[in-house]
């Protein structure tokens, strides 16, 4: 592993900025090369080659941003949770110094997380590059507007035509996000399956579907207004009626460094479900 460390921090949290600065100073004292940027900084992709470890300081959103650029470069992620539940960023701030030392020493285990990619075909044009996501691909109405008609095809075969707010294609990582809020199932983190879940389907009995990871999933939208494609809730693209979005499992894989037992996921899940039962905020 290269010893250069990247630090990506939440851009609007002073605590994240301060913790990132402290970590950078400690690495500098040890003579370890490092760089630091806020999440959503466009310089991030160019710094990934040659980086051996990226430390994400913030919450799961920061991890999602970093994963889309770290995965193609094969760089593992270590997350520090300053958010709520922290499904992806599992360390607490007081653990940071010791766990970074362990990560640089090659300790811990690596979780491989399935990612998805989406290709848009609209007006006879196909997007030049697939859009990469870790959590999910969502096709539906904008935040305000009428439901849209969505045709779901799997392997070229029509499965359903649904009038709904949206349809989600989620990975196992994303199964605890929007998919769960919409009534979809939770998968164990390293499962390679994909989940298709309709959001608020109108007069439809469609239930969430768990598909093999090698499935080709197509979502075609029909609307009198405009629709939206969203990747991980961070990349939004408008869609016109007739647009088709093809979703597949990506060859890119996100790598998370973990120090806790694999069963820690279920503890975090129990906390999350307890928060939802109490009407608390979603992570």
CB-count exposure of residue 14 (10 Å: 0-12, 13-18, 19+): exposed
Closest CA relative to residue 211, chosen from 191, 226, 240, 238:
191
Q: What is the dihedral of CA 7, 11, 16, 22, to 10 degrees?
A: 50
Task: Give me the DSSP letters along 182-204.
Answer: TTPPP--TT---EEEEEES-TT-
CB-count exposure of residue 72 (10 Å: 0-12, 13-18, 19+): middle
Beta strands 77-81 and 157-164 are unpaired
Structure tokens at 165: 């707010």
Q: Is residue 91 a contact partner of residue 83, using CB atoms and an 8 Å limit?
A: no
Sign of CA dihedral 168, 171, 174, 175: positive
Structure tokens at 79: 């997350």
Q: Is 60 an active-site residue?
A: yes
With a CB cutoff of 8 Å and minimum separation 6, the contacts of 279 are none
Of 60, 136, 165, 232, which one is the catalytic site residue?
Answer: 60
In whole angstroms, give the CA distance from residue 283 to residue 263: 19
Closest CA relative to residue 147, chosen from 220, 232, 225, 240:
225
Active site residues: 60
């Amino acid at each position: 592993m290269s010893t250069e460390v990247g630090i990506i921090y939440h851009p609007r949290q002073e605590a994240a900025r301060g913790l990132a600065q402290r970590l950078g100073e400690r690495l500098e004292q040890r003579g370890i090369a490092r760089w630091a940027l806020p999440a959503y900084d466009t310089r991030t992709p160019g710094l990934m080659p040659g980086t051996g470890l990226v430390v994400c300081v913030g919450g799961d959103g920061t991890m999602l941003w970093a994963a889309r650029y770290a995965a193609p470069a094969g760089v593992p992620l270590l997350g520090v949770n300053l958010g709520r539940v922290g499904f992806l960023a599992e360390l607490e701030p007081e653990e940071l110094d010791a766990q970074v030392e362990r990560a640089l020493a090659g300790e811990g285990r690596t979780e491989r997380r399935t990612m998805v990619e989406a290709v848009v075909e609209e007006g006879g044009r196909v997007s030049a590059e697939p859009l990469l996501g870790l959590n999910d691909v969502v096709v539906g109405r904008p935040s305000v507007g009428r439901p849209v008609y969505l045709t779901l095809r799997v392997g070229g075969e029509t499965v359903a035509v649904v009038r709904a707010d949206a349809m989600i294609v989620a990975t196992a990582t994303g199964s605890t996000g929007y998919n769960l809020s919409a009534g979809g199932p939770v998968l164990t983190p390293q499962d390679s399956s994909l989940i298709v879940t309709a959001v608020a389907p109108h007069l439809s009995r469609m239930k969430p579907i768990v598909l093999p990871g090698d499935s080709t999933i197509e979502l075609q939208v029909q609307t009198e207004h405009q629709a939206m494609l969203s990747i991980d809730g961070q990349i939004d693209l408008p869609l016109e009626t007739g647009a088709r979005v093809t979703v597949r499992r990506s060859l890119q894989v996100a790598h998370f460094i973990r120090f806790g037992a694999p069963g820690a996921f279920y503890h975090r899940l129990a906390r999350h479900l307890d928060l939802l039962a109490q009407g608390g905020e979603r992570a």
